Structure 1
Amino acid sequence: MNVTIRGHHITVTEAMNNAVHDKLTKIARHFDQIQSIQVILSLDNSGASDGGQKSHKAEAIMRVSGQEMFVQALEDDMYKAINEMADKLDRQVSKYKTRLERNKVKGAGRDARFVDSADEDVEPVA
């Protein structure tokens, strides 16, 4: 699993890097087919000019075979944003994993539309 962490308007510290890696290893334990994860940590100052709280944003783009998942979390603390981002990503991974397992089970049986001609009772045409 390839993990890339970038900062936008913020310097990514070693503690932030460790927090992201700790959370993402828990997700990797649930699902082993992750190809790459790109994490962007940013500081959004749009609400700060009018007296609002500065908003910390954590975004993640995760690539698995055949699909790309995107999550983002906005919080007043960067570590809260990282935790929320990881929780959202974990929920998406579990939904994706459940969908894969359901499709495996559904595809295992015979389809009712296709019936062998030996199974049908065919009356001879006179």
Structure 2
Amino acid sequence: MNISITGHHITITDAMKDVVMDKLSKVERHFDQIQSIKVILSLDNNRSDTSHSGKNNHKAEALMRVAGQEMFVQSYDDDMYKAIHEMADKLDRQVRKYKTRIDRKTRSSKRKPSFAIPATEPVDESYAY
């Protein structure tokens, strides 16, 4: 799995990298067919509904690629570490949902159709119509 961590208006510290890697390893335990994860940690000083009345707002985003699909999550918080935890939890929920969906598809394709005709039974020819 290829993980890239970048910062936007913020310097990424070793502690932040360690927390991100630790949280994403838990996501990888649930689903091992992850191709890559791109994490963007940013600091937003805007005044908007998501930035809690103009306080310094930390945002953690992740774009994960698996075979045939991309999953995107983002979280906002006043503390970067809380935003990272929330982002990882959201990503974990999406991965578990995706895995359940894939398992259901493969399970249903392996099932025999319900309209299958049972093996032929010997016919009693003495029975007259």
- Decide whether the 8 Å contact of 1:44 with 1:55 is kept in 2: yes
In the alignment, structure 1 residue 101 sits paired with structure 2 residue 99: no
Unaligned residue ranges in structure 2 (runs of 5+): 121-129
- Decide whether the 8 Å contact of 1:47 with 1:55 is kept in 2: no
Q: Percent identity?
A: 62
What does 1:1-126 correspond to in 2, within 5 Å? 1-47=1-47, 52-111=54-113
* 4+ residue segments displaced more than 6 Å: none
Q: Which whole-Å CA distance do the structure 2 matches of 1:77 and 1:29 have between them?
A: 26
For the aligned residues, what is the CA RMSD?
A: 1.8
Amino acid at match of 1:65: A
Larger Rg: 2
Q: Which whole-Å CA distance do the structure 1 matches of 2:86 and 2:94 have between them?
A: 12
Q: Which whole-Å CA distance do the structure 2 matches of 1:66 and 1:81 have between them?
A: 27
Unaligned residue ranges in structure 1 (runs of 5+): 120-126
Cα deviations across residues 1-33 of structure 1 (Å, max 9, x unaligned)?
A: 000000000000000000000000011111100
TM-score computed with the length of structure 1 as normaliser: 0.84
| TM-aligned CA deviation for residue 53 of structure 1 | 1.4
Q: How many equivalent residue pairs?
A: 115
| TM-aligned CA deviation for residue 98 of structure 1 | 0.3
| TM-aligned CA deviation for residue 108 of structure 1 | 1.1
- Which residue of the partner structure matches residue 124 of structure 1? none
Q: Which whole-Å CA distance do the structure 2 matches of 1:59 and 1:15 have between them?
A: 17
